[in-house]
Amino acid sequence: MNFTLTQEYLDQFSEAVQNKDNNFITTQTTALHPADISAILDELETDDCHYILGLLPEQVRADIISDLDTDVRADFLKTYQPIEVAEILDYTDSDDAADILNELPIKMREEVIAHVEAPQNVMELLHYDEDCAGGLMAKEFVKANINWTVVECIEEIRRQTENVEKIYSIYVVDDNDKLLGRVGIKKLVLNPRNTKIADIYEPDIIFVYSYQDEEEVASMMQKYDLEAIPVVNVNKKLLGRITVDDILDVITEQAEQNLQTISGISEDVEEDDSVWLLSRARLPWLLIGMVGGMLGAKFIGLFEGQLIAVPAMAFFIPLITATGGNVGIQSSTLVVQALADTGGLQESFWRRLLKSFLVALINGFVIGVCVLGANILLTGGEITLSLVVAFALFCVVIIASIMGTVTPLILNQFKVNPAVASGPFITTANDLLGLAIYFSVAKLLFSLAA
């Protein structure tokens, strides 16, 4: 069912909660997906959410709480008793359970663990940093010993899948749990019962080590189009698996962080955060932009004489700075995107620089010709000023394009997020470069014309 949350429906739901109309709440939530129920809860008070969740089946309740935003979930779980949180974790995948435990205060975390039915899997995950493969993996997966037959493997699958929601692959291990390969369900179904797993498994398997960064994992799963990837330790012992839904969260988070960085937001914030936090996240780049603007104004002052001699030059300053900023952002965005998609560029530095230069030559020539023709018409045949603006724009496009290409590559080499090269940084730098080029070209051409 395609559910759309309307204000009318939300008002009905709120009224049902206030009137303790359990029949209405149960009937409505039974027909909804957990994600749709989460959308309703996002609009309600914490106490009302607590009341609604208390009416839902344990698995649905666990799915909803697992999908909640980290900050919202941390505040929400404060209204629960430790034993209630433990009951929720009993129906939650081990990776999500570990994340929830890490968000709790230490005292409450210990109390929750004491009530969890099977804490071992979750406890093992608590030792990993949340940004590495070990922190992303879940302990629920299906494995088979290489010495088993097909019928033994199928029986083991039936036993293990009690705790596994989705089966993407059956991982093949030796007697020491060392990962050897994988076997598909199709092969198990099509082969005779007594066929050995050793005869039908695929030894070539892509895996990650538990210490690898989440961005590396995301890159590998995107590159090889994987729905799940096994995680091993340094001895290649199978520890768990990472599924595509966890990687989608990582990719989404990376995209949001890069978008905020490009926009000049220095911290990971959301619109519903406090006024102080939002101001603190935005202010640094605004101050940098202000400094850049003041430098630009000071720079223009150095060429006051030229502006007095040819006042019409001032009309084209916004054109110069806007074009330089736009070209720089375009170039840097493409490089940042390539770095994010592959973890590095497929082309060499000089080949990338040459391509950027050739693209800038074409774009600069087209823009210069268009501006030259338009200016001749608008200025009543003022050839010298038109040539100044056109040639300056041509140079600005080339310099800004090279700047936008080189800057993120250099930052990436120094392990700095290349996304900072975009937005305010590139715009401010190219404003100053554009003005320098504009007035330098003007001084040269006007002196030649004289």
Pick from 51-55, 333-337, 402-406: least confident: 333-337
Output the pLDDT for position 67. 82
> What per-residue confidence (pLDDT) applies to 307?
79
Mean of pLDDT values over 61-90 = 84
Res 344: pLDDT: 55
Say what the pLDDT of residue 381 is.
61
Average pLDDT on 93-112 reads 88
Domain architecture of the chain: domains with CATH: 7-120 (1.25.60.10), 136-244 (3.10.580.10), 275-449 (1.10.357.20)
Sheet holding 170-173, edge to edge: 142-145, 170-173, 179-183
SS3 for the chain, per residue?
A: CCCCCCHHHHHHHHHHHHCCCHHHHHHHHHCCCHHHHHHHHCCCCHHHHHHHHCCCCHHHHHHHHHHCCHHHHHHHHCCCCHHHHHHHHCCCCHHHHHHHHHHCCHHHHHHHHHHCCCHHHHHHHCCCCCCEHHHHCECCCEEEECCCEHHHHHHHHHHHCCCCCCCCCEEEECCCCEEEEEECHHHHHHCCCCCEHHHHCECCCCCEECCCEHHHHHHHHHHCCCCEEEEECCCCEEEEEEEHHHHHHHHHHHHHHHHHHHCCCCCCCCCCCCHHHHHHHHHHHHHHHHHHHHHHHHHHHHCHHHHHHCHHHHHHHHHHHHHHHHHHHHHHHHHHHHHHHHCCCCCCHHHHHHHHHHHHHHHHHHHHHHHHHHHHHHCCCCHHHHHHHHHHHHHHHHHHHHHHHHHHHHHHHCCCCHHHHCCHHHHHHHHHHHHHHHHHHHHHHHHHHC
Give tens-digit pLDDT for 83-95: 988 888 888 888 8
Token duo for residue 428: 């401010």
The pLDDT, as a whole number, for residue 380 is 66
Task: Report pLDDT for 343.
Answer: 55
Q: What is the pLDDT of residue 202?
A: 94
Residue scoring higher pLDDT (425 or 159)? 159
- 390-400 mean pLDDT: 92
Confidence of residue 397 (pLDDT cuts 50, 70, 90): very high
Q: Which of 9-13, 214-218, 317-321, 377-381 has the lowest mean pLDDT?
A: 377-381
The mean predicted confidence, pLDDT, of the chain is 85
Mean local confidence (pLDDT), 65-71: 80
Most confident of 44-48, 57-61, 163-167: 57-61
pLDDT above 70 coverage of the chain, percent: 93
- Which residues make beta-bridge pairs with 208? 231
222 CB-near residues (< 8 Å, 6+ apart): 247, 251, 341
Least reliable range by pLDDT among 5-9, 28-32, 86-90, 262-266: 262-266
Instruction: Pick the range with the lowest mean pLDDT from 123-132, 368-377, 420-429.
Output: 420-429
> Is the pLDDT confidence value at 346 over 60?
no
The percentage of the chain sitting over the pLDDT mark of 90, rounded to a whole number, equals: 22
Predicted local distance difference test score (pLDDT) of residue 345: 54
Total-model pTM: 0.71
Average pLDDT of the segment spanning 31-58: 86
Given this model, what pLDDT does residue 423 score?
67
Separation CA 142–CA 119 (nearest Å): 19
Residue 129 has pLDDT above 90, yes or no: no
